[in-house]
Structure 1
């Protein structure tokens, strides 16, 4: 379960790169009730999505040449430079080398060996997201990958993640991700890793990390997203023991998922 008691390897930040920040703010405000607070005149248009005055994510213009609109998951690190070396040694690519963000913290961004982009955040004045596991906030991260064995080996090497494999029928399984350092007896699952199906690979699907936002009514939030320009990826479906979930792309094309969890999101 996600928490704001961050330890190395756990999700601690999330931001959206988009070609039209104002349009993105309007969409997510309508769907989740978020408001945006500018990070300041020197931030290049970057701002913080907030709910009830607490930061739940961030948004900014696309800065990398050829980048597509997307949410980026950040994972906690105590040393971005050391993590960068670990990423390189494990076969990943460095997209953005470690850099200070004023006094807020230090970030770096990478691509794993299967092609999925992700980043790390080394806290300074900003520890990370202020609110998770509440309605309309981040509650899960999920990697769809072209090579689940390679992905698991990479993240195990970089973050010391452990994986619990749950059968999905046939030879497919879903791997629950946990980081070391969680509290004894706590649910330390923070995300999942899943192999892309053959039909998805044949259609050209690529490895991607997706955020899941918890909601109180998956169908209603899904309908609101479509009303404001989202496109359907997966319509609402019930998963026994998990909840009701759906996946869409926002009007600019960034994918994200919704989940009415069972029993976390009441």
Structure 2
């Protein structure tokens, strides 16, 4: 599971690119109870979403013609420059070379060989997200890819991820899950899905999808619709895992919800 231990290779940051910062802030405040904390003029409009005083994501205003509205995931690295070299070696692309973000840290933006975008964060003053797994915070990430085997090879080369495949309920195949090197199954943070196996995602190029934990999946979906969001996949159950749904916010950024099974 996700944690705030900031292990190399694990998700450590998430942010939203949106054409309407005020509107997006209102939507996510209504949906998850997030407060928006402006980073000030020196950050180019970059802001933090916080829940209970702890940061759960970032957000940046961006005209739609420059970049589509989207949620992005960042993976922790000790050396962004070395990771950029590994991405190139493994067949990925460097969209934005490693760059310092004031004294907060160092970041870079990549795509994997299939075109799915992701970023890395090398912490400085800012380690990463301060809250995960709780309702209203990031709890899982999922890669929709055209070639699951190639994706496994690429990310294992870049981040040294370890994988385990579990049978899907009802005998509908297997689900490949990933964890940081040496951290074991308890540190699983995401999974890989062949893009053609999910009709909700089949018309979209390879991409990472971010899941946020909720206490009531159906109630949160209804609230998202009331606030102007769109339901891409209605709430459904996964045996032994929980209840999930897929949405877009009012500006087109895709994300998902997960109401995890309560365990004793």
RMSD (Å), alpha carbons: 2.0
Q: CA deviation at 1:62?
A: 2.5
Take 1:53 and 1:178, find their aligned partners in 2: how far apart are those partners?
A: 28
Take 2:230 and 2:72, find their aligned partners in 1: how far apart are those partners?
A: 19
Which residue is 1:155 aligned to?
155
Which residue is 2:227 aligned to?
228
Take 1:224 and 1:97, find their aligned partners in 2: how far apart are those partners?
A: 39
Which residue is 2:179 aligned to?
178
Take 2:37 and 2:141, find their aligned partners in 1: how far apart are those partners?
A: 24
> Comparing 191-200 with 60-69, which one deviates more in the overlay?
60-69
Question: Residues 171 and 147 from structure 1, CA distance in 2 versus in 1: closer, same or farther, beyond 3 angstroms?
Answer: farther
Number of paired residues? 263
Gaps of at least 5 residues in structure 1 are none
Deviating 4+ runs (over 6 angstroms): none
SS of alignment partner, residue 91 of structure 2 = coil
Which residue is 1:21 aligned to?
21
Take 2:173 and 2:119, find their aligned partners in 1: how far apart are those partners?
A: 27
Take 1:74 and 1:200, find their aligned partners in 2: how far apart are those partners?
A: 26
Listed one character per residue, the Cα deviations across residues 72-129 of structure 1 (whole Å, up to 9, x for unaligned) are 0000000000000000111111111100000000000001111111000000000000
> Comparing 3-12 with 186-195, which one deviates more in the overlay?
186-195
Gaps of at least 5 residues in structure 2 are none
Take 1:201 and 1:29, find their aligned partners in 2: how far apart are those partners?
A: 26
| Counterpart contact for 2:195–2:201, Cα < 8 Å | no
Which residue is 2:255 aligned to?
256
Q: TM-score, normalised by structure 1?
A: 0.93
SS of alignment partner, residue 187 of structure 1 = helix
> Comparing 119-128 with 201-210, which one deviates more in the overlay?
201-210
> Comparing 67-76 with 201-210, which one deviates more in the overlay?
201-210
1:84-103 equivalences under 5 Å are 84-103=84-103
Q: TM-score, normalised by structure 2?
A: 0.94
SS of alignment partner, residue 157 of structure 1 = helix
